[in-house]
Structure 1
Amino acid sequence: MAGGSNSQSSGERSDSSSTSVSRKRQASSVSPTGISKKRSTMQMDLDILGCPICLGKLTIPIFQCENGHLACSSCCPKLMNKCPSCALPIGHIRCRAMESVLSSISIPCPNTKFGCTEYVFYGLESTHEKECLFSPCPCPALGCDYTGSYRDVGYHYYTYVDTCLTPLHPYELFTYDKSSSVRMNISDKVKILVDKINNTLFAVQCFREPYGVCVTVSCIAPSSPEMQTCSYHLSYTVDGHTMTYKSPGMKNVVEVSFQTPLENFLFIPHSSLLGDLLEMKLYIGFH
Structure 2
Amino acid sequence: MIAACFCIFQCQNGHVACFSCWSRLTNKCHICSNEANFVRNIALEKVVESVKSACSYAKWGCSKLVSYSLRNAHEESCLFSPSKCPIPGCGYRGFTGWWSGHFHTNHNNDSLRFSYGQCFKVSLEISVPFLVLLSEDDHLFLLLNKNMMPYGHALSVGCLRTGNLNWNFFYEMKATSEGNTENSLQLKASVTNTKDWRGLHPTEAFLLVPYAFCRSGKLTLFVSIERVADVR
Instruction: Tell me by how many angstroms 1:115 deviates.
Output: 3.4
Residue of structure 2 aligned with 1:172, choices 90, 94, 112: 112
Change (3 A) 1:117 1:246: closer
Q: Determine whether 1:216 maps to 2:216.
A: no
Change (3 A) 1:144 1:98: closer
1:231 alignment partner AA: F
After superposition, the C-alpha distances for 1:67-112 in whole angstroms (9 at most, x for unaligned) are xxxxxxxxxxxxxxxxxx99xxxxxxxx89965763x421231335
TM-score by length of 1: 0.57
Q: Is the 8 A contact 2:156 2:203 kept in 1?
A: no
**Structure 1 residues without counterparts, runs of 5 or longer:** 1-49, 59-84, 87-94, 163-168
Q: Determine whether 1:181 maps to 2:128.
A: no
Q: Determine whether 1:245 maps to 2:187.
A: yes
SS at 1:151's partner residue? coil
Q: Is the 8 A contact 1:184 1:279 kept in 2?
A: yes
Partner of 2:66: 121
After superposition, the C-alpha distances for 1:172-222 in whole angstroms (9 at most, x for unaligned) are 110101111111101121111112x32221111111111111011111113
TM-score by length of 2: 0.69
Q: Is the 8 A contact 2:160 2:195 kept in 1?
A: yes
Mapping 1:1-287, distance limit 5 Å: 51=2, 55=4, 102=49, 104-111=50-57, 115-116=60-61, 118-122=63-67, 123-125=69-71, 126-127=73-74, 130-132=77-79, 134-162=80-108, 169-195=109-135, 197-210=136-149, 211-222=151-162, 226-238=165-177, 239=180, 240-247=182-189, 249-260=190-201, 263-287=204-228
After superposition, the C-alpha distances for 1:195-251 in whole angstroms (9 at most, x for unaligned) are 2x32221111111111111011111113x553412111111122212211111x211
Instruction: Tell me by how many angstroms 1:124 deviates.
Output: 4.8
SS at 1:142's partner residue? coil
SS at 1:187's partner residue? coil
Aligned length: 190
**Structure 2 residues without counterparts, runs of 5 or longer:** 8-37
Q: Is the 8 A contact 2:158 2:202 kept in 1?
A: no
Q: Distance in 1 between matches of 2:100 and 2:198?
A: 17
Instruction: Tell me by how many angstroms 1:268 deviates.
Output: 0.6
Amino-acid identity (%): 21
1:283 alignment partner AA: S
Change (3 A) 1:154 1:55: farther
Q: Is the 8 A contact 2:158 2:203 kept in 1?
A: no
Q: Distance in 1 between matches of 2:226 and 2:117?
A: 5
Q: Is the 8 A contact 1:155 1:199 kept in 2?
A: no
Instruction: Tell me by how many angstroms 1:135 deviates.
Output: 1.6
